[in-house]
Structure 1
Amino acid sequence: MTFDSINPATGKKVESYPEMSAEEVGDILTKCHIAQQDWANTPLPERARLMASVAEVLRRNKEAYAKVMMREMGKIWPQGLAEVEKCAWGCDYYAENGERFLVSEDVDTEAHHSFVTYKPLGVVLAVMPWNFPLWQVFRFAAPALMAGNGALLKHAPNVIGCALLIEDIFREAGLPDNLFRSLIIDIPQTTDVIHDRRVAAVTITSSVAAGRAVASEAGKVLKKCVLELGGSDPFIVLEDADIDKAVEVGIVGRYQNSGQSCIAAKRFIVVDAVYEEFEQKFVEAVKKLKMGDPAEEGVYIGPQARVDLRDGLHDQVQRTVQGGATVLVGGEIPEGPGAFYPATVLAGVKEGMAAWSEELFGPVATLIRVKDEAEAIEVANGTDFGLAGAVWTQ
């Protein structure tokens, strides 16, 4: 099997990566396990020095790294640069604070001496998504490595170039060889890695279905797991809200990263008293969002990461409209190459529609009109999704 990296703005293949054999994966696991045991004995000041070096490498090469993200998953240029900078900030943060976080703490008990101490788990497997292909990895890797762990990355198959790039970043910064390694594998081999005795824990950021599968496999071998799954965040606008500010922030909250964010505002729940004003101003703002080449200045909506994801999003929009919702702007697949989908607003979304109960992972906002604050809270809580939320009020 090979994994193809496709530029979502053009539809053209960038690179192909062969799946690693079981022997290659086993060799990497052994080397990472050995490297982690040595790393666990490395003094914290030295770990901090190397983590700060990672931040330096990121900042020094941020334009090159932003280009890789743009090419593999269509991230627009300014947001790519910001993502690299955020990764560097994360590394600096743990370099500066890691030693303080890991100090042992005395605890009063009936025993002669009780304390809490923090020891590395071992090698941690991370199953990471494509939407923030650098940040999602570094927000895990920086604290995990600083705490003395080793790291294995199973990245999304459409951003293998980013996965190998991250491996190179840690190597260039001077971290021990094999302490952080990327695995080019599919689902069956991922299960094998979770079960492997050399792996101590697993973390995943992905869909609910993927998280359920990973948690199940980790549970079979009683390994710790951390899950960060989908979201359908409520954005509640009450009668006394600053509507202009709510619209301004709501546009960023929904359409950043071309709408592909688990913590994006997705369900705009607006009380009746200000609904008409909010809808008008929100739609006007959405119409100004420029869609196009992610490298082009002024573009805010780039392509979706893959054509199949774009098509799945459009299917959700169509099913919602068939259920009685109205498209106020967008909602049509544009002609031409690439995985583009316009900034879209759906109104009249009600219970039973796809946009009510499913996560729309793309540039689609759903407007839900409610009578008052009590109904807004009821609607916001009427979902299986969690993560974040916002309330606009004085």
Structure 2
Amino acid sequence: MKSNLASDVPERLPNDQKVPPMSTIQTKNPATGENLQTYDLMSESEAFGIVEAAHEAFLDWRKKSHEERAPYLRKIAEVLRDNADKFSELMTKEMGKLYKDGKTEIEICARICEYTADNGPDALADEERQHSGGKKRGIVTYSPIGVIYSVQPWNFPVYQPMRVLAANIMAGNAVVLKHASICTGSGLLLRDLCLEAGLPKGLFDVILVGHDVSDKIIEHDLVRAVTMTGSDGAGSHIGELAAKNLKKTVLELGSNDAYLVLEDADIDLAVKTCVQGRLYNNGETCVSAKRFVVTDAVYDDFVSAFVESMKSVKMGDPFDEDTQLGPVSSEEQFDTLVEQVAKSLDGGATLLCGGDPDKDAKGCYYPATVLADCKPGTPAYDDELFGPVASIIRAKDDEDAMRIANDSRYGLGGGIFTKDEDKAIRLARDHFDTGMVRINSFGAADPNMPFGGVKDSGYGREHGGFGMKEFVNAKAIFLPS
């Protein structure tokens, strides 16, 4: 689940000179335009000091057993729940998340901590094995490796860093977080609440740095691995730099997830679920339903009902309980969406609703929008539209729908609507070229199921026990008998 991290790529001036590096971060409320807080960026030496302190904390933490680490995670879950209102308000102010969705995000994070505490000791326990034809014994142990550098986006300000933190705290590692600048306050509050929960100082900390210093953090000798959620462009840069320095990475990148509405789909269920899947978190979710591939047999029925539902969506104040759609996260994100929709219309797409934001109004509000007749070579077909814009593509039949779904450089998630569950399972398992597939449903993540993608959506897995083993040393110990 990630943001379109356009800001992770340095801007260029007309003479192709880089914009001079900023010395501060200014957070801003996308619903009102109000300036929130100013933060000073750290120097390289200050950031390196945090990495070094994290390594020192790791040297003690790695000595604890998995069972000794688990209570810290349970306490973090408790403190998060106690501060749910405060954290939800901050997330809403920093990036426009619906306040009620912020409360849900905090609960998901608490559940991740509890799942990791409950299941981590068994998942990471030593394994006895036989070798040399069963005549000798061996032990496989999952040893922590050190400081993990976590680069995270703004769309889920607590969940994104927490899913990395919980897994690595259990594994025995330390974590240094570089959060997206627009939710700097959320990153710092998470650190403070972890300290309040009793997590040793330095084991999890936050750095406030620009791109140049961030690259040097990746190269730092004490950083043993890097995990990043963001755009495929930013992921390619970070993955290349980490590989050059022989460091493992986990990358969760962009996607334009296809949801297939097959010939025997329950149309009422499909419409209701697809609207939810497109607008969840203001449409700013990596596993949002983004492309809707609809077969000829049900095309007219689905599209007419889907458009009517999107037209009826209430957009407004993210603190209002009745609001269904808040602002996108920033002016930059708003402008990107405007440009992507314009290019898609120029490329032959048809506007069925929305697409007419008031550019002079206060706040970064983009209406629920539906584009039909989306063509290859346009953003609505090829790229990730990170906001409340749905792309509808007509398919001849079920087989053609599956072909269109896989006609993407991405492969994070997707969905299938059909009354034949066996057929859906077969298509999901044998044909859908993604890391995750939803059948007759929509959801973002579950602590007990792996999360991650293929192709330009990245590699590696989080959740479901998989994340706890991404950054450990699977060490083989050979015994003589």
Contact preservation (8 Å) 2:255, 2:383: no
Contiguous gaps of at least 5 residues in structure 1: none
Q: Distance in 2 between matches of 1:313 and 1:114?
A: 55
1:171-223, Cα deviation, whole Å (9 max, x unpaired): 00001011100000111111110110111100000000110011011011100
Q: Which secondary structure state, in structure 2, belongs to the residue aligned with residue 113 of structure 1? A: strand
| Residue in 1 that maps onto 2:214 | 190
Which of 176, 180, 186 in structure 2 is aligned with 1:156?
180
| Residue in 2 that maps onto 1:290 | 314
Q: Quote the offset at 1:12 in angstroms.
A: 1.3
Matches within 5 A, 1:245-256: 245-256=269-280
Of 179-188 and 329-338, the range deviating more from structure 2: 329-338
Which of 240, 260, 283 in structure 1 is aligned with 2:264?
240
Which of 28, 32, 35 in structure 2 is aligned with 1:10?
32
Which of 102, 105, 127 in structure 1 is aligned with 2:127?
105
Q: Distance in 1 between matches of 2:100 and 2:55?
A: 38
1:267-324, Cα deviation, whole Å (9 max, x unpaired): 1000001000000110111112111110012111111111111111111101111111
Matches within 5 A, 1:169-180: 169-180=193-204
Say whether 1:40 aligns with 2:62. Answer: yes
Q: Quote the offset at 1:44 in angstroms.
A: 2.1
1:4-26, Cα deviation, whole Å (9 max, x unpaired): 10000011110011110112112
Q: Which secondary structure state, in structure 1, belongs to the residue aligned with residue 143 of structure 2? A: coil
Q: Distance in 1 between matches of 2:155 and 2:46?
A: 27
Pairwise CA RMSD: 0.9
Say whether 1:349 aligns with 2:371. Answer: no
Q: Distance in 2 between matches of 1:118 and 1:353?
A: 46
Matched residue type, 2:383: E
Matched residue type, 2:45: E
| Residue in 2 that maps onto 1:207 | 231
Which structure has greater helix proportion?
Answer: 1
Q: Which secondary structure state, in structure 2, belongs to the residue aligned with residue 255 of structure 1? A: helix
Q: Quote the offset at 1:353 in angstroms.
A: 2.1
Q: Quote the offset at 1:108 in angstroms.
A: 2.6
Which of 260, 272, 276 in structure 1 is aligned with 2:296?
272
Q: Quote the offset at 1:46 in angstroms.
A: 2.2
| Residue in 2 that maps onto 1:369 | 394
Report how many aligned residue pairs link the two structures. 394
Q: Which secondary structure state, in structure 1, belongs to the residue aligned with residue 326 of structure 2? A: coil
Q: Which secondary structure state, in structure 2, belongs to the residue aligned with residue 92 of structure 1? A: helix
Percent identical across equivalent pairs? 44
Which of 414, 418, 439 in structure 2 is aligned with 1:389?
414
Which of 330, 338, 350 in structure 1 is aligned with 2:363?
338
Q: Distance in 1 between matches of 2:372 and 2:50?
A: 51
Q: Distance in 2 between matches of 1:272 and 1:336?
A: 39
Q: Distance in 2 between matches of 1:2 and 1:229?
A: 27
Q: Distance in 2 between matches of 1:158 and 1:354?
A: 25
Which of 18, 42, 46 in structure 2 is aligned with 1:20?
42
Q: Distance in 1 between matches of 2:112 and 2:180?
A: 21
| Residue in 1 that maps onto 2:467 | none
Q: Distance in 1 between matches of 2:243 and 2:321?
A: 47
1:107-136, Cα deviation, whole Å (9 max, x unpaired): 232172222210101110000000001001
Q: Distance in 1 between matches of 2:247 and 2:76?
A: 29
Matched residue type, 1:10: T
Which of 102, 108, 111 in structure 2 is aligned with 1:89?
111
Matched residue type, 1:89: R
Q: Quote the offset at 1:329 in angstroms.
A: 0.9
1:319-342, Cα deviation, whole Å (9 max, x unpaired): 111111111111012241111101
Q: Distance in 1 between matches of 2:391 and 2:294?
A: 11
1:338-385, Cα deviation, whole Å (9 max, x unpaired): 111011000111222221111111100011111111211111111100
Say whether 1:327 aligns with 2:351. Answer: yes
Q: Which secondary structure state, in structure 1, belongs to the residue aligned with residue 355 of structure 2? A: coil
Q: Distance in 2 between matches of 1:121 and 1:305?
A: 35
1:42-87, Cα deviation, whole Å (9 max, x unpaired): 2322211111000000011100000010010010011000000000
Which of 279, 300, 307 in structure 1 is aligned with 2:324?
300
Q: Distance in 1 between matches of 2:376 and 2:219?
A: 41
Contiguous gaps of at least 5 residues in structure 2: 1-22, 420-481
Matches within 5 A, 1:55-70: 55-70=77-92
Q: Distance in 2 between matches of 1:140 and 1:57?
A: 18
Q: Distance in 1 between matches of 2:195 and 2:64?
A: 17
1:138-189, Cα deviation, whole Å (9 max, x unpaired): 1110011111000000000111101101110110000101110000011111
Matched residue type, 2:224: A
1:207-245, Cα deviation, whole Å (9 max, x unpaired): 001100110110111001000000110100011100000
Question: Normalising to structure 2: TM-score of the pair?
Answer: 0.81
Matched residue type, 1:356: Y
Q: Distance in 2 between matches of 1:226 and 1:307?
A: 29
Q: Distance in 1 between matches of 2:130 and 2:312?
A: 60
| Residue in 2 that maps onto 1:262 | 286
| Residue in 2 that maps onto 1:137 | 161
